[in-house]
Amino acid sequence: MSSGVCLRVLRAAGASPAASSGSWSRVRLPADPRHAPRRGLSASGRGGTMNVFNREMKKQQKQWSASLQDGHQYDYLRDEVGGRVADRVYDIVRMFPLALDIGGGKSHIAEHLSKDVVERLFLTDVSEKTLKRSRRSEIPTHHVLADEEFLPFKENTFDLVVSSLSLHWINDLPGALRQDVDDVQVNYPGIIEVMTDLQGMGESNCAWNRKSMLHRDTILAAEAIYKEMYGNEDGSIPATFEILYMIGWKPHESQAKPAKRGSANVSFGDLSKISQPTNTNTS
């Protein structure tokens, strides 16, 4: 699994973080995302823009999820993945003066980081209720209410960009960030529990072409088939969450520089010819 993808700059237009007052900022969102201007993202291999997901519906789902009194019981996946993303940040041995967590929700990444690694953090989310429930962190954090598709920051603002369990609802994400995928498997009593937890996480389907109602008979039939094909011996069913990790950071003078082109004295083609070392120890 790769430790991340280096993003040279964050390309988005708008005000710089310095323009924010206090620890809260609000960004006016379009009333209907279908008719909103895009930032110029295009689907890989085709022209124009894609509009698969109803972003207003996703905001409502996250608002509802954040209003649950027992919402913490649905945070287990975000907590796990947030810790894994933080581990990848620690792999980059340097300090990041200013970091951005896109769609950070309750700040599931920041709680695993220290101010020795990130000096200051901007946390964005489309849901105000979610931001208000963000966990405490030793890192000074600015909360910005903003849609991930319309980030209000100038280019070349941040030294580190992270995101956890948010970008899969972004319309027109170029190339679907084709990288290695990590699997997190959770065993559930049945398909109803899977769907209940996804709803509690604010992860219900928000595609424009989604069905407005899923009949109970369809759910039960799907559960029977799934248990027959993939069920565990104890009667539970496994649900696999495919996690794609991406972290972005700005190049820094403290980081190792690549060697000059042509300076290598060994060809990659010769690596297969290197014999295994022999044990020459004598006693």
Report pLDDT digits (tens) over 272-283: 666 655 555 554
* pLDDT tens digit sequence for 58-91: 999 999 999 999 989 999 999 999 999 999 999 8
pTM of the model: 0.57
Q: Choose which CATH entry (1.10.3470, 2.60.120, 3.30.1240, 3.40.50) describes domain 17-29+51-182+244-249.
A: 3.40.50
Higher pLDDT, residue 274 or 110: 110
Domain ranges of the chain: 17-29+51-182+244-249
User: Is the pLDDT at 145 greater than 80, yes or no?
Assistant: yes
Q: Work out the number of other CB atoms within 10 angstroms of the CB of residue 68.
A: 16
Higher pLDDT, residue 238 or 270: 238
User: Looking at residues 162-187, what average pLDDT do you find?
Assistant: 73
pLDDT band at 116 (very low <50, low <70, confident <90, very high): very high
Contacts of 246 (CB under 8 A, 6+ apart): 4, 5, 163, 167, 177, 179
User: Looking at residues 175-181, what average pLDDT do you find?
Assistant: 49
Higher pLDDT, residue 181 or 170: 170
